[in-house]
Copies of this chain bind each other. A is one copy, B any other.
Amino acid sequence: MNLVRTLGLLAIATTLAAPALAQFRKPEDAVKYRQSVMYTMGNHFYGRLGPMANGRVPFDAKSAAENADVVMMLSRLPWVGFGAETNGIGKTSAKPAVWADAAKFKDLGEKMQAEVVKLQAATRTGDPEALKTAYRSTSNACKACHDDFTNQ
């Protein structure tokens, strides 16, 4: 594809894009972004907090707090990567329901974020049981959304 045509398509994409897409050059980038955020968040949640919450590694208040902080920040980010123009784009496990039932998707996303707020607070109590409870609730909130809105 020649440069002018590429720029032309970019201009069209820009015109059609919602303001939220300003962060991305093209829809594929939005897909890669949301997947990168989710993967990183999953690593810190399931990979780092999980073993601690489940008692398989010793509770470490500092590590728990640090990992919860990462999860907290990342939990706010992926949503901008789910613009309507990304429906069906790329290698994705996101179902069309993300866009067809956007209100429910938004609601479940917000419920997850609310659980992460509690998770972060739990890591400040120094109480392994508080972490365990908050971890389980957060995990359930992740699962509720993934069950309905992804093929994974």
Contact = CB atoms under 8 A, between A and B. Distances in A.
Which of A7, A24, A73, A93 is packed against the most chain B CB atoms within 10 Å?
A7
A100 interface: no
B23 A33 contact: no
Interface of A is mostly: helix
Nearest to A15: B56
A54 B10 CA distance: 13
Contacts of A92: none
Interface in A120-147: 139, 142-143, 146-147
A86 to B, nearest CB: 14
21 contacts: A7-B42, A7-B46, A7-B50, A8-B46, A8-B50, A10-B46, A11-B46, A11-B51, A11-B56, A12-B56, A14-B47, A15-B51, A15-B56, A24-B47, A29-B43, A32-B39, A33-B43, A35-B36, A36-B39, A40-B40, A70-B73
